[in-house]
Structure formats: C-alpha cells, structure tokens
Amino acid sequence: MIDVKAILFANAGAMWKILSGPITLLFIASGLAPVEQGIYFTFISIAAIQQVFELGFSVVLVQTYASQNNSRKYSDFSNDINVKGLHVFSIVTYFLIALVFYICAYNYGIYIFKDVPEFDHLTLICWRWYLFFIAISLLVIPFYSHMEGGLLVRNVYKSRFISIALSSSILWTLLFFNYGLIALVISQAVLVLSQFISIRKYIYNSCINIFKKRDILYIGFIEFKKASGFQLKLALVWATGYFYWNSYNLIFFKLVSPVYAGVFGMTFALFNAFSVIAQNIVLVNRAKISNAITSNGIDNALRSFKCLQYVSIVVFLICITFLFLLKFILPHFFIFNRILETNSMILLSIMFFCTTAICNYATFTRCFGIEALFKLSIIMNVIIPVITLLYTKFIGLDGLLIYIALAHVIFLLLSIVIIRNFIIRTRLKI
C-alpha cells in the first residue's frame, strides 16, 4: 500500500524547491554579480562530492533495515540487536565520512577556484563554513535511514520538508539584504540545525539505547559485511555518479567562464528539481517495495513499481510542459533572461526525462539488493563527463547538448532491455 502522506511530504519538499527556484533566482540576480552566481553554483557542485565519500551507504542501510523490519512491529524492529549494531556502526562510519569529506572537498575547491580573481578572502571564509555545515549534514543520514527502514517514512520527509522551507526562506531574506555568498552559508546552517532539531527526540532515544552493549559496534560491522557485495557495486555507481551530475558546472567554470557556469547551473538545477519531484514517487516507496518482494514475490512488487513509474513520468512531463508554457506566455520575464535559451532547454528536458526513468529502474532493482544497471550506470557516469570535457575543450559549446541528449536516449533504451531481462531471470529463480 502506498503511503500517500509520505509522498505528499516528500513532494512538498521537492515542490518547495522548484517553486522557490524562480524566487531564489530573482534574489541571486539582484544580490549576486554574474561571476558570484557562477561561484554560487560551483560551490554546490563541488560540495556534492560528499556522495563519493558516502558511497550509497544510506541506500544499503534502508534496504537492510526494511528487510529486518518485514512482518514486525516497529518496537520489535528497533530492539533487534542486529539492527542496533548496524545503527551504531552507521553513526560511527558517517562521522568518519564527514571528517574525510571536509578535508578533501576543501582542497578540491581551492584547486577549482585558484585562478578566479573574485575568489577573495571573504569568499574563502564562506567556502570553509559552507563545507563545514555540509559535513555536519552527513551526520543526520544514519538516523534518517534507520527511520525510513523502520517505515517511519512520513517522519523523515516531514523533517526534510520543514528544514528545506526554513533554509530557503532564510536564503531569500539574506540575499534581499545583499549578504552575498554568506546567505548560502547561513541557509545551509539553518537546514542542518533544523533537521537535527526536528528529530532530536528520536536521536536522543536512539543514542541512549544503542550504546549500552559493549560489542555493539562489532555486531554492526558483521551486519554491514553481509551487505558488502551489494555495497561495493553501489559505491562505484555512487562515486562515478558524482562526476555525471556535477561535471558540467565544473568543466564550464574552468573552460568556458564562471558566468556561463552560473547560467547553466541555474537551468540544470531547475530541470533536476523536476526530476527529483518525479523520482520521489518511487523513492519514498522503496522500503514498501522491498517488503512486497519478501512477502509476496516479484509480481506484486512489479505491479506496484509500474504504477509508480507511470505516475512519476507523467508528473515530470507536466512540470516540463508548465515551464515551456510559462516561457511561451512570458518570454521576456526576468527569470528567463538568466537561464539557457529554449533550444538548450528542450535538449535538457530530453536528458532529464531519460535520467528520471533510468533512476527509477535502478531504485526498483535495488529493492532486490541487486544493482542490475551496474555496468550501464558506470559506463553512463563515465562517458557523459568525458564527452562534455573533450567536446568543450576542443570544439566548444555548439552542438554539445545534442550529443548529450542522444546519449541519454540510447542509455534509456539499453536500460529497458536490461530490466526486462532482469525480471525474466528473477521469475525463473523463484
């Protein structure tokens, strides 16, 4: 059964992001210079390297917890010694991930920004603190994963929605008063603190209970080791996925100009928000799909996924249609002067349509504890950034998005073939 309220909270957060995008753009345009806009989105692209260090551990946690929670009451699930052990192990692991991430991302950013005159002392301070709060945000993931795996999905997405709404509101206010990049830092701080505050009781009760047993960390390591095969493949997908999602801004920032990176970054973020809205429909139900697989086999799970995939694609198309209608009706509206032209937007919409469908397929197969799209994802995550880098470096920007859109169509067709074969093989095994 689909948790409608969980979907509503998840999409409320995603919808807030997309609706706040144009408003944020207005404040960025008035509060940031064009170069600062490029730095703004490059900050975000570099900080996203956290996924290279996180390596999809949260996905493994949710799947493992969901499997443990099958046909149990939540109280029984939370008291299970193996669940407690894995929870402790995840908390310690994420603390180490946050530390290593901060050190590496900081130096990575210094390399990217070293030739930019506008990257002054104040910008450096903003970079340091922005990264600090990104690192702190990693520490809430093990608690969110534990809650989602225990089917407290609604609580997770409610917390996220509240934090997103507060953070963006603070960002708008500070940009309005011309705080520049400092606004991004403070809004990130509000985002992290509000997340911890909203689930503070859960964190307190969780920590009180799980650290009582002496060998609890070792038990957690054993539980993690059981899922290590799946984790290894997912880690490679997660790590290469960083370059797929963030290479555009970094390449354009270094090889074209900070201004173009800012324009592309804003457009890319807009389409990505549409895709996130659509993917949430499948994503927030992954624990339930996993339980359906364990309890009733592949057919019921497949029926649920097909329904969710259909709704996801329709929602994405509705969002895209609305954007182009708005651009047609108000072609000179201020927002459309700060993003890419119509032809480039069409090509990006094709790219994100394919990406949305592929990501949904990947989420479905991960509910089986399998990375069926592993090889395809690795190839896709490597080829797209390489095409972008080489084409931009030796040819320029003309025609680049055509090749990128075409590549995504090919990858989508390949993913459909792979998923069909995966379903056939799974049925034969059952």
Tokens at residue 28, please? 């960025």
Alpha carbon of 31 to those of 100, 165, 215, 336: distances in Å? Answer: 33, 20, 53, 17
Which value, in Å, is the radius of gyration of the alpha carbons in the chain?
Answer: 21
Q: What pLDDT sits at residue 170?
A: 93
Q: Rounded distance, CA 24 to CA 28, Å? A: 6
Each of the 430 residues of the chain gets a pLDDT tens digit; together they read 455 566 666 666 666 765 676 677 778 777 777 788 888 888 888 888 887 787 777 777 777 777 666 545 555 555 667 777 777 788 888 999 999 999 999 998 888 888 777 788 888 899 999 999 999 999 998 888 877 776 567 777 788 888 888 998 999 999 888 888 899 999 999 999 998 898 888 777 767 655 555 566 666 666 666 666 656 666 777 778 888 888 898 899 888 888 888 889 888 988 988 898 888 888 877 777 877 777 666 777 888 888 899 999 999 999 999 989 988 898 887 778 778 899 999 999 999 999 999 999 988 888 887 778 888 988 998 999 999 999 999 998 989 999 999 999 999 999 999 999 988 887 656 5
Residue 322, number of CB atoms within 10 A of its CB: 12
Instruction: Tell me the three state secondary structure of residue 169.
Output: helix
Tokens at residue 319, please? 């969002």
Q: Rounded distance, CA 368 to CA 429, Å? A: 13
Q: Rounded distance, CA 340 to CA 350, Å? A: 15
Residue type, 201: K
Tokens at residue 189, please? 């701080």
Instruction: Tell me the three state secondary structure of residue 151.
Output: coil
Residue 330, number of CB atoms within 10 A of its CB: 11
Tokens at residue 321, please? 């249609």
For CA atoms 309, 312, 314, 317, give the dihedral sign: negative
Listed in sequence order, the residues at least 6 apart from 127 whose beta carbon sits closer than 8 Å to its beta carbon are: 43, 106, 109, 113
Q: What pLDDT sits at residue 48?
A: 83
Per the CB < 8 A criterion, the answer to whether 388 and 310 are in contact is no
- pTM listed for this prediction: 0.73
Instruction: Tell me the three state secondary structure of residue 18.
Output: helix
Q: What pLDDT sits at residue 71?
A: 47
Instruction: Please tell me the number of Cα atoms within 13 Å of 150 on its side-chain side.
Output: 22
Residue with the two structure tokens 């809430």: 140
Q: What pLDDT sits at residue 58?
A: 77
Q: Rounded distance, CA 274 to CA 277, Å? A: 5
